[in-house]
Amino acid sequence: MRKSCLLWGAGVLISLAAGLPQRALADGPYKVSKVVKVGGEGTFDTAFADVEGRRLYIPRKGPGRITVFDLDTLEPAGEIPDAAANGVVVDSKSGHGFASSQPVVMWDAKTLKTIKTVDVQGRPDAILFDPFTERVFIFSHVAPNSTVIDAVNGSVLGTIDLGGEPEQAATDRKGRVYVDVRDKNDIAVIDAKALTVAAV
């Protein structure tokens, strides 16, 4: 009898503890305001929220396309076809969007119409826009590890050897790009103007 009472008491405590995170979240500063199903055929990797343009981009594969939603209402806003990408960035100044696809797809962020495709080597994966230089950095796990594109006209400005497999990157918006090189367990620091590795 005592054993069953202890088990019952433990069960009650576990049940209460399991409910605590949900209760704390509901009482916190954040809440779920809307749930929208954005499924469909194919897989996806990294979604991108264009805060200034108020759009949500979801790159898809199989078939390749980028589905676009209104960031405020989460209603469908359009689609960019023939872009099997892992990531997306938008330069609000030039009004151009880019997908880390093969080839890289460049589009008009207002109309969602493709402007051009840009041939790059390697296997495009992660992507970063640096507003300081108005350049798009396409990262690949195989050489060349980074291809840099002018966000205004879509021309390839050069490539950078990072000596390993880049995974994600961040910009300080002052001329430096920091890249996680996953197989080397280090951070490569790119001079965004010179397109060289300034430090590791």
Q: Is 124:136 a contact under the CB 8 Å cutoff?
A: no
Nearest by Cα to 43 from 65, 68, 61:
61
8 Å CB contact between 83 and 98: no
Topology given in CATH for the domain delimited by 44-162: Methylamine Dehydrogenase; Chain H (2.130.10)
Retrieve residue 70's tokens. 């209104």
pLDDT at 25: 53
Report yes or no: 6 and 26 within 8 Å, Cβ to Cβ: no
Q: pLDDT tens per residue, the chain (200 residues)?
A: 444 343 344 343 333 344 444 455 567 899 888 888 877 788 888 999 999 999 999 999 988 999 999 999 999 999 999 999 999 999 999 999 999 999 999 999 999 999 999 999 999 999 999 999 999 999 999 999 999 999 999 999 999 999 999 999 999 999 999 999 999 999 999 999 999 999 99
pLDDT of residue 3: 40
CB of 148 closer than 8 Å to CB of 135 = yes
Q: What are the extents of the domains in the chain?
A: 44-162
At residue 11, φ and ψ (nearest 5 deg) are: -65, -40
Task: State the Cα–Cα distance between residues 68 and 64, nearest whole angstrom.
Answer: 13
- Three-state secondary-structure class, residue 53: coil
H/E run at residue 108: strand 104-108
Q: How far apart are CA 4 and CA 150, in angstroms?
A: 70
Q: How far apart are the first and last CA of the chain?
A: 65
Is the pTM value of this prediction over 0.75?
Answer: yes
